[in-house]
Structure 1
């Protein structure tokens, strides 16, 4: 599995200022609707429901909101780079500016976990995050994510 199977180029967006987590989820829902034909309302509801279980801000300015949705036939993603970081109740209490959301079929099981692990590994790479923060072009951001982390020799 690689990120290009999860993330369509049109599901990558740069956003100026975000006023709240709810507004961010609405933007993610709109992106998912436009890129994958998902219901924006169902997507927002699912993200908020998952977030109520515990914040998905994983630290170092990164959030990985995710949700399972009925009627989805594969795992898909949406990426938002915020020009101004926002409070996200992250584990390290730092504001978030890189958001990679995942949407999985309701019964996706282990595939959902594999996709989440892939995205988490990618977003933990400091070089990738630095490149994402240094670029404001959606196509460039998609290319950076698609390239993934550099494999380090042992």
Structure 2
């Protein structure tokens, strides 16, 4: 598995100021609807439900919200680079500016975990995050995320 298989170029965006997690989850739902045909409401509700179990801000300005969605046939992702970092209740209490969301089929098991591990490894790479923060073009961001040694799953 590699990120190019789960992240459509249409699902990569740069946004300015985000006012809340709810607004962020709404935007992620809209991106997932546009890129993958998912329901905005189902996606929003699933992200909210997962976040209620515990924050998905993993530290160093990165959040990895994820949810299972009924009717989805494969794991897909959406990436947002926020021009203004936002509070996300991250483990290190730092604001978040890089958000990689994953959506998995409701019945998925190991594929969801593999995708989450892959994205987590990629987003823990300091060089990748530096490049993501230095670019505002969605096509360039997609290229950064889908190239390099961190994109190969173990």
Under TM normalisation by the shorter chain, which class is it? Answer: over 0.9
CA distance in 2, matches of 1:137, 1:149: 22
Q: SS of the counterpart of 1:8?
A: strand
- Kept in 2, the 8 Å contact 1:122–1:148? The answer is no
Kept in 2: contact 1:12–1:142 (CA 8 A): yes
Aligned equivalent of 1:65? 65
1:87 is matched with which residue?
87
Q: What value does the CA root-mean-square deviation take over the aligned residues?
A: 1.0
Partners of 1:18 and 1:82 within 8 A in 2 = yes
**Structure 1 residue runs of 4 or more that deviate by more than 6 Å after TM superposition:** none
1:23 aligns with 2:38: no
**2:33 corresponds to:** 33
Cα deviation code 1:129-149 (max 9, x no counterpart): 000000000000000000144
CA positional deviation for 1:10: 0.2
Alpha-carbon spacing, 1:141–1:109, altered in 2? closer, same or farther (3 Å): same
Unaligned runs of 5+ in 1: none
After TM superposition, the score normalised by the length of structure 2 is: 0.96
Map 1:111-150; keep pairs closer than 5 Å: 111-149=111-149
Give the aligned length.
Answer: 151
**CA displacement 1:96-118 (0-9 Å, x = unmatched):** 00000000000100110000000
Structure 1 residue 150, shift from structure 2 partner: 5.7
Cα deviation for residue 126 of structure 1 reads 0.1
